[in-house]
């Protein structure tokens, strides 16, 4: 059974954090579902991922294309995790604790400067841990990522 990692971004924005997590996920051999809060936000991230990293390439695609099944990173709103090893939720996207069982890992990235996002992440933490799913809370308040809680 997988675990949910909560990433409380306070020092680096999503645009810097996401490519690093995607690179690590792909290096682990995981196929990733990237679930976003809006189509416009995903299109913005799609453009970013074509440009980052500058010395490489993060293979990905927006859901709805003819080659969705071939994409190592598939991006969509309300995207199912079918045949995926990892799920990353950004910009307010949520997960169902029942989805986590078949995953190696699920991640929720949220902006620590956005009080609504922080409150939503707290509610998601209560839902996940209340369902008995393993969870870790990571913060970068000190300037580097540190695990602050585990349930």
CATH number of 49's domain: 3.40.50.10110
Strands 134-139 and 146-150: antiparallel
Q: Are 95 and 89 in contact (CB under 8 A)?
A: yes
Domains in the chain: how many in total? 1
> For position 53, what pLDDT does the model report?
64
> For position 68, what pLDDT does the model report?
93
- Parts of the chain with a pLDDT under 70: 1, 52-53
Domain membership of residue 48 as a residue range: 3-150
- Which of 54, 26, 32, 43 shows the shortest CA–CA distance to 107? 32
Write down the pTM of the prediction.
0.94
Q: What is the pLDDT of residues 30-64, one digit of tens each?
A: 999 999 999 999 999 999 888 866 777 789 999 99
> For position 141, what pLDDT does the model report?
86
């Amino acid at each position: 059974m997988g675990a949910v990692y909560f990433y409380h971004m306070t020092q680096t924005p999503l645009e810097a954090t996401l490519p690093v997590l995607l690179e690590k996920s792909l290096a682990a051999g995981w196929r990733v579902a990237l679930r976003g809060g809006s189509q416009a936000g995903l299109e913005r991230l799609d453009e970013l991922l074509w440009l980052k990293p500058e010395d490489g390439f993060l293979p990905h695609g927006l859901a709805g294309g003819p080659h969705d099944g071939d994409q190592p990173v598939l991006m969509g709103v309300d995207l199912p995790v079918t045949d995926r090893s990892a799920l990353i939720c950004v910009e307010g996207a949520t997960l169902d604790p029942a989805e986590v069982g078949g995953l190696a890992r699920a991640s929720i990235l949220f902006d620590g400067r956005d009080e609504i996002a922080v409150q939503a992440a707290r509610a998601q933490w209560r839902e996940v841990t209340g369902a008995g799913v393993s969870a870790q809370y990571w913060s970068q308040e000190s300037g580097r990522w540190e695990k602050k809680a585990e349930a």
